[in-house]
């Protein structure tokens, strides 16, 4: 397990990777911040370097085109939801209900909300682009203010 820190305009971010790929991107003090990291070694690996470059581009207001290699760790359902989040275009949003309907006509938005809330690779897997049915900025482990700032950066909401 390898870690690096990244100083973003929205606060310090912890990046974590294993031999397979990126496993975590957490804002400091985020709900699931570094939970489960076993004996991390602070070292820049190729995937952590790529992630920092991706974040530099992203925070400069540009849309990164290529994601670093990721190692998604979660249930099959969570992985399915996270892969759908990757399909939300830069600068766009979807509701939890929209995503639920993509999986099944009878899927509960709350089930999707739970999976979104367990996303360990924030920003790159854009859980900040998921909003409530009434267009509310609900549910972001990094904090609603950060969610709002990420969407402003992507020019989805007015400044």
Q: Which residues are catalytic?
A: 127
Q: Give yes or no for a contact between 68 and 50, defined as CB atoms under 8 angstroms apart.
A: yes
From the list 76, 151, 158, the residue with the least C-alpha distance to 140 is: 151
Helices 96-103, 76-85: axis angle to 10 degrees equals 120
Rounded-to-integer distance, Cα 27 and Cα 90, Å:
20
Radius of gyration of the chain (CA): 15
Do you know the residue count of the chain? 159
């Amino acid at each position: 397990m390898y870690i690096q820190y990244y100083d973003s305009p929205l606060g310090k971010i912890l990046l974590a990777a294993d031999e397979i790929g990126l496993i975590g991107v957490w804002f400091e003090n985020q709900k699931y911040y570094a939970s489960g990291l076993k004996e991390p070694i602070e070292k820049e690996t190729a995937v952590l370097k790529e992630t920092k470059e991706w974040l530099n581009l992203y925070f400069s207001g540009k849309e990164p085109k290529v994601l670093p290699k990721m190692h998604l760790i979660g249930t099959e359902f969570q992985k399915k939801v996270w892969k759908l989040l990757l399909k939300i275009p830069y600068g766009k949003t979807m509701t939890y209900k929209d995503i639920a309907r993509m999986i099944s006509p009878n899927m509960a938005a709350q089930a999707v909300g739970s999976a979104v809330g367990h996303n360990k690779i924030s920003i790159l897997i854009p859980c900040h682009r998921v909003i409530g049915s009434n267009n509310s900025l609900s549910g972001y482990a990094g904090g609603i203010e950060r969610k709002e700032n990420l969407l402003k950066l992507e020019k989805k909401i007015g400044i």
